Amino acid sequence: MLSNVHLPSSAAEAVDLLRDGGWVVGGGTVVMPRVNTGAVPVGQLISLRRAGLSDIRVDGVDTGGTVSVGVATTLGALGADGRLAFLHPVVRSIASPPVRNLATVGGNLLVAQPYGDLAVALLALDARVDVVSGDGVREVPVGELAAGPAEVVSAVHFALPRAGTWFYRKAMRRRHNSASIVTVAAVVAVEDGVVRHARIALGGVGPRPMRALAAERALLGAPFGRSTVEAAAEDAREGIEPFDDAYASAWYRTRVLPVHVRRALLGEE
């Protein structure tokens, strides 16, 4: 039974509170329904609302700069920041405006698939994450994030993609407010018609966001065009772990994944 709700003033204070157990809460859109229905036994909640983790810093917008986002930043705030316009389609593909005004970057980063579309985008962006523990702060690649029971994720850092290199597509059962069937986010750089950099992340086809490594290999060094992209899109199936849920079957996710990789990279509807 829930007995205490804490509002620490810093991530370090939140870590101290976690030593006695409990759950960390950002916007509460995932945790609170479980608590309210008694689906999980929780003695205390630790809210990050007043922990000073809701800032967005952008350095060098015009020079391919860097971004740091506190994990208590709401998706609504992220989607309203004009400096991060490339992420606006990602944010708009997640839930509804009222939910986005509560849901946080940290919550979306850690929620289980088929949710967590921002986490897919952050994997494509090769983001790094600050994790606070009793021993201090360590920075880990977002793809290796595994916060322990007395650790708090505090911030996410990534580089702004160069113009023309960012691609995103999410397949849903409904146009708005639906979890992912397949999500594709990618940073692909082409110079003189040849792919020089490719980093592709997938959602909806595994227990957590995953890299499409075989598709990346198929693109690198190849001329960028329909035939290359179609071959890479087929290779994106390698290593996936699709699942059945209320939104789609594992079979369907496997079947349509190459279609959405191709559409994302070629800008097709």
Write the pLDDT tens digit of every residue in 138-174.
Answer: 999 999 998 888 899 999 999 999 999 999 999 999 8
Predicted confidence at residue 222, as pLDDT, reads 98
- Alpha-carbon distance 107 to 116, whole Å? 8
Write the pLDDT tens digit of every residue in 5-15.
Answer: 899 999 999 99
Using CA atoms in the order 229, 235, 239, 245, what is the torsion angle rounded to 10 degrees? 70
Task: Give yes or no for a contact between 112 and 120, defined as CB atoms under 8 angstroms apart.
Answer: no
Predicted confidence at residue 4, as pLDDT, reads 85
Would the CA dihedral through 104, 110, 87, 182 be positive or negative?
negative
- The CATH architecture that domain 56-159 belongs to is 2-Layer Sandwich (3.30)
Write the pLDDT tens digit of every residue in 100-146.
Answer: 999 999 999 999 999 999 999 999 999 999 999 999 999 999 999 98
Q: How confident is the model at residue 3 (pLDDT cuts 50, 70, 90)?
A: low
What would you report as the CA-atom Rg of the chain, rounded to the nearest whole angstrom? 19
Task: Give yes or no for a contact between 76 and 88, defined as CB atoms under 8 angstroms apart.
Answer: no
Single-letter code of the amino acid located at 154: S
Q: How confident is the model at residue 63 (pLDDT cuts 50, 70, 90)?
A: low
Per the structure block, which two tokens stand in for 172? 């849903």
Q: How confident is the model at residue 190 (pLDDT cuts 50, 70, 90)?
A: very high
Of residues 28 and 67, more confidently modeled? 67
- Mean pLDDT (the chain, rounded): 93
Say whether domain 4-47 belongs to CATH 3.30.43.10: yes
Per the structure block, which two tokens stand in for 64? 């391919």
Query: How far from 147 is each of 106, 110, 142, 144, CA to CA, in Å?
Result: 12, 9, 11, 10
- Alpha-carbon distance 95 to 192, whole Å? 39
Fold for the domain defined by 166-266: Enolase-like; domain 1 (3.30.390)
Domain ranges across the chain: 4-47, 56-159, 166-266
